[in-house]
Chains A and B, each alone.
Chain A
């Protein structure tokens, strides 16, 4: 499966994940016996082409966030390789990893918890510049921060203010400004709109797209449902209990879902139309009764569409 090409044809991938695993537990316990083993990420492989958005969808406990964190080396993988711009970055030391860190950023779900309440917005956005010694002199630094805030649709005068003065949507814009401060190539966005008010979600989704068009960013966009995915992503991977059960272009996943879990996820999106929603019966999918067998492999269906089958 490691030689599987699950990317847009032609271009070498920016990010390539090969047989990635993350296992928790299993260590010897104080009172004897071993802690239970949890395969949070189980032999996951995918590529992301430059400028592409891959949606990673799954329910709580599916391993989607862990995949994002391991991919960025925020946690060490238990197995497998992560290639970034063709370089294997798995297991690199902190200092060797630092130049790659500039190029890979993460945006978290909760804009309330991810900002430092004691830092002004300006300091917070400038911090990565300082860390990498790119902030220049005072006025250069200020100009860069102002430019970043403008890019995410915030007034540069906000840089003197503290996070508590901002709404959820504005805070998420601040997080995005910080994430793009170092001009990264790749951003992992871990449920960046889930905690936002409904009337704000569309603003942030559009901002993600505008920044991609402007800066040529590549995204791994993690979400717990498929509702916004179609607007944002070129391809989607659906995860279930640590495994990718289906991956392919958005069109294929939405128009021709093959795995029963993907079908259940699609049928579970509430449709804001009473005529459609009234008598809809959700498709039932019992995760525990339908765990993919260890021997199951992703089978190609053509057009870069793969489904996990025994």
Chain B
């Protein structure tokens, strides 16, 4: 079966007064139907830009897709007109963005805002849309849905608003739901509830999900496949277990190691990745993580490593590295 989404050599740049920013560099991957892909990266990793550029949501200029294809159900989205993309967005690909406080219109009722894509894409009658809105609100766990649907955004808490955003995202039964830092602005206890809701929705309606976040912990609980991005490139990718338990990119390894693992003050010191994130306005040369990588080889600095299968790991586990992290770590361990 053909994959639901196939991204081929996607490259996106922004032309700014201070030079060209190379935001996404030669990103390729496939996503199967029903799969949940967690994309992890920090600011400037290209994780959000790559998703927005797939559906024509980056401002152009300054943004431009330099190269690549995005095949969604066999159709190249990058070749579609904005009018055609209008039909795809919301209907076939749903979105949930980071900030539930600013992404809802404050002067429209919740019902109006959830019904909008339904009426636009399916030409639903007002009554039919109303019923569907209540159904959706119940699905995302908003109590007293019929009454709440008549209310305005300010009457909802942050967590409830994000539930509304998810309801809008899934309202048209999209084939693919893209969530970009959807829980980052929320309190931690609310985040835990939203993640639980998404896990539950996946089980019940089987949506394919791309979950973009900077939080390894969030991905661990949600994703089937994890894709680690840095400097506009995929550093490592694979089923969650091998990536978390047997990382082969020094960046993934460093990220996991630098997180608190129940260590105590004065007893354990947090591992820190040295250096600073790359300056994306410099033309990309070599492995973007090389300047911060203690295991980097001379080759890492001037040649981009391809994303290849990890020898001796689970199928689908891929890494872009010229060095052999496992061998390096073993060497380190052997030294006293």
- Any B CB within 8 A of the CB of A199: yes
Q: What's the least CB distance linking B305 to chain A, in Å?
A: 19
Does A274 belong to the interface (CB within 8 Å)? Answer: yes
* Inter-chain contact B214/A203, CB cutoff 8 Å: no
Interface status of A86 (Cβ within 8 A of chain B): no
- B273 nearest CB across to chain A (Å): 4
Question: Whole-angstrom distance between the alpha carbons of A300 and B265 in the complex?
Answer: 24
Known interface pairs A199-B255, A202-B272, A206-B272; A167-B221 also in contact (CB < 8 Å): no
CB distance from A167 to the nearest CB of B (A): 4
Of the stretches B113-121, B126-134, B187-195, B319-327, the one at the interface is B187-195
Interface string of A208-245 (1 = CB under 8 A from B): 01000000000000001101101111100000000000
Docked-complex contact B273 and A203, CB < 8 angstroms: yes
CA distance A197 to B216 in the complex (A): 12
Inside 8 A of A273's CB, which chain B residues have their CB?
Answer: 220, 244-245
Determine which of B42, B245, B268 lies in contact with A231 in the assembled complex, contact meaning CB atoms within 8 Å.
Answer: B268
- With an 8 Å Cβ cutoff, the count of chain B residues facing the other chain is 44
Interface residue ranges of B152-201 to A (CB < 8 Å): 158, 187-193, 195-196
Count of A interface residues, CB-CB < 8 Å = 48
A264 to B191, CA, bound (A): 12
**Contact indicator B269/A268 (Cβ below 8 Å):** no
Main secondary structure of the interface of A (DSSP, over half): helix
Asked if A250 CB lies within 8 Å of chain B CBs, one says yes
B282 interfacial contact with A, CB 8 Å: no
Contacts of A59 in B (CB 8 A): 187-190
Contact flag A271-B270 (CB < 8 Å), given A197-B42, A198-B255, A231-B260: no
B43 proximal to A (CB < 8 A): yes
Of the residues A60, A224, A254, A282, contact of B192 by C-beta under 8 Å: A282
1/0 per residue, CB under 8 A from A, across B261-274: the answer is 01111001111111
Task: Identify 14 new A-B residue pairs, CB closer than 8 A, beyond the known A227-B260, A268-B188, A278-B221.
Answer: A169-B276, A170-B276, A197-B277, A198-B42, A199-B258, A199-B277, A206-B270, A231-B270, A264-B189, A268-B189, A269-B217, A275-B241, A277-B220, A282-B196
CB pairs A–B below 8 angstroms (9 shown): A60-B187, A199-B42, A199-B277, A199-B292, A202-B258, A203-B274, A230-B264, A273-B245, A277-B220
Binding site for B on A (CB under 8 A): 53, 59-60, 167-170, 197-203, 205-206, 209, 224-225, 227-228, 230-234, 250-251, 254, 264-265, 267-278, 280-282, 284-285
Interface, chain B (partner A; CB < 8 A):
42-43, 158, 187-193, 195-196, 214-218, 220-221, 240-241, 244-245, 251, 254-256, 258-260, 262-265, 268-274, 276-277, 292
